[in-house]
Structure 1
Amino acid sequence: MQYDVAAIIQGYSQGYFLMADENNHLGWYGSRDRTLIPLDNRFHFPKSLRRVINQERFSVAVNRDFKAVVDGCADRDSTWISEELKDIYFALNESGWAYSFETWQGDELAGGILGIVIGGAFIGESMFFNISEGSKVAMVKLVERLRQRQFVFFDAQMMNPHLERFGAFSIDDEEYQILLEKALQSNCSLI
């Protein structure tokens, strides 16, 4: 199936995101509150994770196995990533909009974060792990990469306890739209 990639990116550029409901019907959603992962000194993580990072057990890669990251993110008892949404992510990846930021332990995919890059915005769609700490290390390394590349923000969409541990915070839609406008004026690259 062919997808109108430009129309999909336009939707994300206006602050919406795609999700499938419990019946696998795909739709556009917005939120009054958005969760951001800080790219400044508010970002923090446990000392135990610092030890894991210092052990250098994991290497990082971008798009080494995009399909496996999408499948990993969707592999849950209850998921909003339908087969159609997977196909959309594949089309966005082929067009240079969607990325997987991955951690690897040797030749084994340890974890990853699926996201869409538009200008200076990294819009995190989902994350998963196969090996303990794999997604957490991916989060830390991704934040480092986004800082280096001068991204405006890292949108995690919805708050959860896991993200709170990293200093994630919520902003209202008005603030989000201001940041999004700034991000759209930037030209950042994850690779």
Structure 2
Amino acid sequence: MAEAISPELLLSAYAAGVFPMAAAADDPELHWVDPRRRGILPLEGFHISRTLRKEILRGGYEIRANSDFAGVVAGCADRESTWINAEIFALYLELHRQGRAHSLELWEEGRLMGGTYGVALGAAFFAESMFSRRRSASKIVLAWLMHRLRAGGFTLCDTQFLTPHLATLGGIEISRADYHARLAAALGRAACFEPEGYQPSCGAVVSSSSGA
């Protein structure tokens, strides 16, 4: 795609079920993706293993929302191969400034150690990427994300593709038609990424998910 896209066009694309990717970090062009098989994390089916449960309950970390969105995107892009190029970085920063994109972060001793970010439209959350700088950081963040999305009234968590990592956490793959039906239903509802008074405990997070 030679022509730059706007944040407004990007939101319209999400509402239509497609999303942009770059072939590599140094590739200036973007292309739209609409997978035949779509990955999602069922909000009521997130799986917390015994090991992950212990990691969550052990504590020693802080979960923050939207305190360093740019740092999370940079962390997700800091890998050997990434689809996050400069244009994508700028687009999601603008969506964050508009209150449309959000990050959830794991902090230890004042350092950002893991996180995820995504876009919220209606009751749909489009999870873009995640990263870890210590063991289980991304899994812990996802567990807290699922709890937050349920508390905020979300009904759909889109992961775009199903990876082996996401499958161990309860992720599933559905058809394009099924995804579009779920998306349409979610877009017709209201949800909030930062519900008023939301301050869950570690115990609440693990007790609300399957396998706890």
1:184 aligned residue: 187
Write 1 or 2 for the structure with the bigger share of strand: 1
1:20 aligned residue: 22
Q: Does 1:127 align with 2:130?
A: yes
Q: Does 1:62 align with 2:58?
A: no
Q: Does 1:73 align with 2:76?
A: yes
One-letter identity of the residue aligned with 1:30: D
Deviation at 1:104, TM superposition (A): 1.1
2:205 aligned residue: none
1:84 aligned residue: 87
1:143 aligned residue: 146
In structure 1, distance between residues paired with 2:145 and 2:109:
19
TM-score, normalised to structure 2, is: 0.86
Residue of 35, 42, 46 corresponding to 1:38: 42
Cα distance per residue 1:18-64 (max 9 Å; x no partner): 10013342121111111111111x22122111111111122211111
Q: Does 1:5 align with 2:27?
A: no
In structure 2, distance between residues paired with 1:63 and 1:150:
18
Contact 2:72 2:116 in 1 (8 A): yes
Contact 2:72 2:115 in 1 (8 A): yes
TM-score, normalised to structure 1, is: 0.95
Gaps of 5+ in 1: none
Contact 2:6 2:91 in 1 (8 A): no
Range with greater deviation from structure 2 (97-106 or 21-30): 21-30
Q: Count residues with an aligned counterpart.
A: 189
Cα distance per residue 1:112-164 (max 9 Å; x no partner): 01101011011011000112211111000000111111211111111111101
One-letter identity of the residue aligned with 2:109: G
**4+ long deviations beyond 6 Å:** none
Q: Percent identity?
A: 35
> Secondary structure at 1:76's aligned position in 2?
coil
Deviation at 1:3, TM superposition (A): 5.8
Contact 1:58 1:134 in 2 (8 A): no
In structure 2, distance between residues paired with 1:62 and 1:53:
17
CA RMSD of aligned residues (A): 1.3
Cα distance per residue 1:59-108 (max 9 Å; x no partner): 21111101110000011111000011101111111111111111111311
